[in-house]
Amino acid sequence: MPDSPHRPGPHSGYGPGELLALDRAHVWHPYGPMPGRTDPLIVESASGVRLRLAEPVHGQRELIDGMSSWWSAIHGYNHPVLNEAAHGQLERMSHVMFGGLTHEPAVRLATRLVEITPEPLRHVFLCDSGSVSVEVAVKMCLQYWRSVGRPAKQRLLTWRGGYHGDTWQPMSVCDPEGGMHELWSGVLPRQIFAEAPPAEFDESYAADLRDLVARHADELAAVIVEPVVQGAGGMRFHSPGYLRVLRAACDEHGVLLIFDEIATGFGRTGALFAAELAGVSPDVMCLGKALTGGYLTMAATLCTSRVAEGISLGEVPVLAHGPTFMGNPLASAVACASIDLLLGQDWQQEVKRLEAGLREGLAEAEGLPGVKDVRVLGAIGVVQLDHEVDMAAATEAAVRAGVWLRPFRDLVYTMPPYVTGDGDLARVCRAVCAAVRAG
């Protein structure tokens, strides 16, 4: 391919076999054993919606990315606008500490986030990763109640089937059964769990939610949920009506409401933020993943003036959190460029186009043996099986079809970059079906 947009990197001197041996010996991978038991694919570069492999695997040298690198690469890879933002900022400064110093990229990003998120979110804490943003959100809420003289309000309420990250507090509100953190159930702070939300609005489930909030109000600091789409906890969708129920119950009983929009933010569900689908605002909101268009690690915790002022009235009037790389200028500059790129185009139309393509392309999966459910919302397509997927077989089938997918549990799913063309999207859907047949 003489016109390939992929450029070779600096030569490491490692051949593919050597690289895999060193990887296996020294490098942890997500949710993996040590040493590793399966060989990851070696990616040499990425451009547009394609990952270029170091060598052909099952006859494929390039794979269409059906995962957006876990929800993040919404504009695809090696995007000229994001590259330019990164280069420009790199030449000014990659990082400076945020204690006692500030800079335009972080101020611009925070201001932009306040502008585009629902009212009355007004203050922004920029941190390193989604899990940390959830830690910060929880700390804000617990500290708020401490500051206003209600220190007993320390627990969290959520519903089953959620995922909020892998550090300690987030783990305590992940799905307690069958999830990735079951091992820790006896060690983590004990939170209050409602049943997983049904897909359609169900009045008796709503009544249970109201009742749980009311009954535990004295010990509850906050309710924390992923609005409308539960991601890594099971790729389930639910009625936005439940978010209105939670908002009303929290207001009535004096409990704060946290929306974890780390996966749903920046258009993935068809709304810029899933909170908009319900027409309600949280007191605290977490953003991450697509925040920098998948370029750099950064997340944000937004809160209302009520929460911020409450904290500032306390005996300890500061929020004692300050990661080394807080407000990182490089990530902030790319995040600003990614948001401008998104909002500067008819992104709603693009997500609708992907939604229609996923519905059409995944319809075939409904008739396949072992399929329990096929569901599509925005640029998210999910095939749920009636059995645990054979990950190795399913992944191989997708790779043979020229697509990168990462099935888990009983799920084969895709959330492609918004720039995926119709032909590539059809190919992603065919690969999902191939993975379902194989898995």
Catalytic residues: 31, 163, 260, 289
Asked if 269 touches ligand PLP (CB under 6 A), the answer is no
Q: Which of residues 105-144 bind ligand PLP (CB under 6 A)?
A: 129-131, 134
Which of 232, 303, 397, 434 lies at the binding interface for ligand PLP (CB under 6 A)? Answer: 232
5 is in an annotated binding site: no
Question: Quick one: which segment of 1-9, 51-59, 160-168, 275-283 binds ligand PLP (CB under 6 A)?
Answer: 160-168
Distance of closest approach, residue 238 Cβ to ligand PLP, in angstroms = 14
Distance of closest approach, residue 133 Cβ to ligand PLP, in angstroms = 7
Distance of closest approach, residue 229 Cβ to ligand PLP, in angstroms = 9
Asked if 156 touches ligand PLP (CB under 6 A), the answer is no
Please tell me the number of Cα atoms within 13 Å of 375 on its side-chain side. Answer: 16
Which of 263, 271, 296, 302 lies at the binding interface for ligand PLP (CB under 6 A)? Answer: 263
Asked if 424 touches ligand PLP (CB under 6 A), the answer is no
Asked if 229 touches ligand PLP (CB under 6 A), the answer is no
Asked if 231 touches ligand PLP (CB under 6 A), the answer is yes
C-beta of 179 vs 361, nearer to ligand PLP = 179
Asked if 416 touches ligand PLP (CB under 6 A), the answer is no
3-state SS, the chain, equals CCCCCCCCCCCCCCCHHHHHHHHHHHCCCCCCCCCCCCCCCCEEEEEECEEEEEEEECCEEEEEECCHHHHCCCCCECCHHHHHHHHHHHHHCCCCCCCCCCCHHHHHHHHHHHHHCCCCEEEEEEECCHHHHHHHHHHHHHHHHHHCCCCCCCEEEEECCCCCCCCHHHHHCCCCCCCCCHHHCCCCCCCEEECCCCCCCCHHHHHHHHHHHHHHCCCEEEEEECCCEECCCCCEECCCHHHHHHHHHHHHHCCEEEEECCCCCCCCCCCCCCHHHHCCCCCEEEECHHHHCCCCCCEEEEEEHHHHHHHHCCCCCCCCCCCCCCCCHHHHHHHHHHHHHHHCCCHHHHHHHHHHHHHHHHHHHHHCCCEEEEEEECCEEEEEECCCCCHHHHHHHHHHCCEECCCECCEEEECCCCCCCHHHHHHHHHHHHHHHHHC
Please tell me the number of Cα atoms within 13 Å of 151 on its side-chain side. Answer: 3
Asked if 275 touches ligand PLP (CB under 6 A), the answer is no
C-beta of 105 vs 162, nearer to ligand PLP = 162
Asked if 439 touches ligand PLP (CB under 6 A), the answer is no
Distance of closest approach, residue 237 Cβ to ligand PLP, in angstroms = 14
Q: Which residue is nearest to ligand PLP (CB)?
A: 130
Asked if 293 touches ligand PLP (CB under 6 A), the answer is no
Which of 288, 294, 402, 407 lies at the binding interface for ligand PLP (CB under 6 A)? Answer: 288
C-beta of 170 vs 361, nearer to ligand PLP = 170
Asked if 175 touches ligand PLP (CB under 6 A), the answer is no
C-beta of 71 vs 418, nearer to ligand PLP = 71
69 is in an annotated binding site: no
Residues at the interface with ligand PLP (CB under 6 A): 129-131, 134, 163-165, 226, 231-232, 260, 262-263, 288-289, 299
Annotated binding site: 70, 130-131, 163, 260, 289, 322-324, 406
Annotated binding site for pyridoxal 5'-phosphate: 130-131, 260, 323-324
